[in-house]
Amino acid sequence: MEIIPAIDIKNGSCVRLYQGDFNRQTLFSDDPIEVAQRWKTAGATRIHIVDLDGSRTGLQINLDIIKSINYRTNVPLQVGGGIRDLKTAHTLLNSGIDRVVLGTAAIENPDMIQHLCKIWGSERVVVALDAREERIAIKGWIKETSVSVSTLATQMANIGVQRFLYTDISRDGTMTSPNFEGVRKLVVETNKSILASGGVSSLKDLEKLSNIGAEGVILGSALYKGDICLEEAISIVDQGQ
């Protein structure tokens, strides 16, 4: 299982939100590039980046910072937040970003997802399943839909998506433990690669996610608050595989 540190960027700084609430944020660094270099030094094989401003506006507000992180660290990046048209996705992928993460577009423009899978290959496309009570939320988690996690996952798998990022919004940033059952259900039902996010607070959480069959886990608050050491987490997971 791959351990993937997260960098959420808002107004050019590295922050963490509580349950996706933009009014409940904690500032951890005003230099996301330095944070990325820190995670690289700690052994990260991939970094998850979210343009929080982009997730609300639909525009890649922090694109220059993301490009700088990619250039300065030379670590594969998966980037989400505000990628709602082909031009934006192509710009990121052409600039060397390894994977794009799309949530809103999966609901509003599934043809775009299918096109990206065909043009770039499914390995470079991740569909975000951001859920509140098992219903998908979009546009920075502000707008709720009636679409269930299982329904969207099935639709996306049918058009070629091979990897999903599942986040239980109610647990994101809370460090109360992940939604293990939600992750397990997706692993079993889709038979696709599942990345887990939201609520991870301990090494035991990581071990359980690995045993469930998650391909990877996104670490945010637990890293920034010091509850999990990235080097130790990577070492323990590697030893268990």
Between the CA of residue 96 and those of 1, 35, 93, 212, what are the distances in Å?
Answer: 24, 19, 5, 32
> Look-up: residue for tokens 């890649």?
60
Amino acid 176: pLDDT: 79
Give me the catalytic one of 8, 51, 168, 205. Answer: 8
8 is catalytic: yes
pLDDT tens for 89-141 read: 999 999 999 999 999 999 999 999 999 999 999 999 999 999 998 899 998 78
- Is 51 among the catalytic positions? no
Q: Give the mean pLDDT of the chain.
A: 92
Check whether 183 has a pLDDT greater than 80: yes
Confidence class of residue 178 from pLDDT cuts 50, 70 and 90? very high
> What's the domain range around 42?
2-239
Where are the alpha helices (H) located in the chain, listed in sequence order? 32-41, 52-57, 63-73, 86-94, 104-108, 110-120, 149-158, 180-190, 203-212, 221-224, 230-239
For residue 189, give the CATH number of its domain.
3.20.20.70
Domain count of the fold of the chain: 1
Catalytic residue among 21, 64, 85, 130: 130
Q: How far is CA 87 from the centre of its chain?
A: 21
Percent of the chain past pLDDT 90, that is, above it, reads 78
State the pLDDT at residue 105.
Answer: 95
Query: What are the DSSP calls for 82-97, one per residue?
Result: S--SHHHHHHHHHTT-
